[in-house]
Amino acid sequence: MNSNSNSVPGDNAALLAGRFPALADLLGLSAPGGLQALLERAPEGLGLEATPSGFPTLREGGAYAHSRRDPVRDAERLAADPAFASGEGMAFLCGGLSYVAEAYARGNPDAPVAIVEPDVYVFALTLASRPLDGLLSHPGLALVVGLSPAESLAVLERLGPIPLPRHLPAAILPAEKGWMAEFRELAARAERKNEINRNTLRRFGGLWLGNMCRNLGEIRDRDGITRFAGLFPDVPALLLAAGPSLDEILPDLPALAERCVVIAVDTALRACLAAGVEPDFVILVDPQYWNWRHLDGTEARGSVLITESAAWPAVFRYPTRETFLCSSLFPLGKFLETRIGRKGELGAGGSVATTAWDFARHLGCAEIFAAGLDLAFPRRQTHFKGSVFEERAHVQAGRLMPAETAGFRALYGAGPYPVPDYRGTTVLTDKRLSLYAWWFESRIAANPAQKTKMLTHGGMSIPGIGPESAERVLERMPLRDKIRARIDSALALPARGDGTRFREALDQLAAALSDIESLATRAIGACGARDAAELDRIDRLILDHPAKEIAAMVFDSEAEAETAADGDPYARSVAVYAALEGAARKNLDHLRVFWPE
């Protein structure tokens, strides 16, 4: 059966247009005959083929996506396998004619089902293959059609608070193998990123909570970065990171600063000051003490500091022109900001340089020139000369532990490997830095209006960031007077703080945390009584609770609780609820200590 000769069983196109009108319009399926018109454009060799069961299979040349005898029976057998079934929902990637998704949806009427099909012609053939009333009317259905691997992964991550398990078929059509390979790589990178975030949360969750509670007055009084939005659409940004190649650009930094708005990460500030340049903006979003030490002992009274409400408290006493907050990256801060007003979102990708790049985008800069953004170890160095990292290694050095040992560990501790640089040779990087590079690659691809170029060429070559010479930038007209005037104008705007709203938000936070604590206590009691119905009611209340994310680190302990407890599911649940109860109480205790009003 050729794709061009199919009649449409039922009215799948009309069902799609009623349920997913935007997708139907995009594919041209809303108009009469739209599906047939799409099928007629399908590539040669891609089509439906009859089987003895009466249900077609899908072929591309000599390759088949399903059984050539009975694709429905095979799908139902797979969906009935306990190892495959998941009542939490399922995302089906490159699933051909969606037989398996249909069988799963039929057996799990309340579970979310996502169909991810990158080839619009395969999706059109699915609509033409058989009546799909049950699948298309499934209440939890999501359709992700015709998107790139990166776009599809982003959609799947936004579908719910917990990522859906993914089903990858055993047979993938040749045309989709490249897409699937790229998706697997992106998904693996995303999982590594999430694992880093989970480990960081376990390690520093208490620090972030303590810092934020100490900084509650700053959240109330400090204005957000929204006043700087779109300030420099006609001025390029110079982003200064702290890689070893930053040393190369320092002689030209004063002249570059005449032509660009200068954004420095906290770790690069000392190098800028030593070169005689106070950056226009300094970015510090890491809450750890050692990040504060990059500023400690310096002054940048002509710079504007952009920080986060969980920063080390001494950061807010740093002598700078003025300090502003970006929106909090942490649940407690987000809870408050939804009630008092957002400070201004900036992306986070593990490195402060990713946040600095996003701030340049926030400023509206159409061009971003980066320096010191090596994400690698050019000349087998880890940071620019005179950095806090280097100086600390010398201070802590001894006869049995010289500074070279610290440098060796920083370089080789994470298993370095070679990657291309901007000079046509290779440079050493590691998995952590490669993950940061992937963040830049994905963000740049998603924001084509910003053109990013690299002024220092010894670091990792990042897709989407091409090389540029400092000499070319220095040929441009000076813009320093314009830059200074616009920053002065933005700083002259009145602050937007509202003490009454903040007090109300704190009261709501305390009430919400008390409620979470009470729910967890009730759940522990229900576990003791083995009351599954009561536990189900409490779970729904917790999952819909506005304060659940404030104790988010607790849910990451669930796997550890399962291994620590015996095989009794109620015993495992008690461990989770007890951790949730303790986290809510810990948040309340910190609030009462640092904000007793």
**pLDDT tens digits, one per residue of 544-565:** 788 877 765 544 444 444 444 4
Query: Residue 197: what pLDDT?
Result: 62
Query: Residue 406: what pLDDT?
Result: 46
Query: Residue 555: what pLDDT?
Result: 47
Q: How far apart are CA 96 and CA 94, in angstroms?
A: 6
Query: Residue 492: what pLDDT?
Result: 94
Q: How far apart are CA 118 and CA 94, in angstroms?
A: 7
> 596 Cβ partners below 8 Å, 6+ apart?
none
CB atoms < 10 A from the CB of 54, how many?
9
CA count, 13 A, side-chain hemisphere, 18: 9
> 441 Cβ partners below 8 Å, 6+ apart?
462, 463, 464
Query: Residue 256: what pLDDT?
Result: 97
Query: Residue 350: what pLDDT?
Result: 67
Query: Residue 556: what pLDDT?
Result: 47
Q: Which residue has the tokens 């930094």?
A: 253
Using DSSP's 3-state secondary structure scheme, residue 20 falls into coil
Query: Residue 564: what pLDDT?
Result: 46
Q: Which amino acid is at 536?
A: D
Q: How far apart are CA 30 and CA 38, in angstroms?
A: 12
Q: Enumerate residue ranges in the chain where pLDDT < 50.
A: 1-7, 10, 387-389, 391-395, 397-400, 403, 405-408, 554-565
Query: Residue 110: what pLDDT?
Result: 81
Interstrand relation of 113-117 and 281-284 (parallel, antiparallel or unpaired):
unpaired
DSSP 294: T
Q: Which residue has the tokens 């579908």?
A: 159
Q: Are 170 and 550 in contact (CB under 8 A)?
A: no
CB atoms < 10 A from the CB of 254, how many?
11
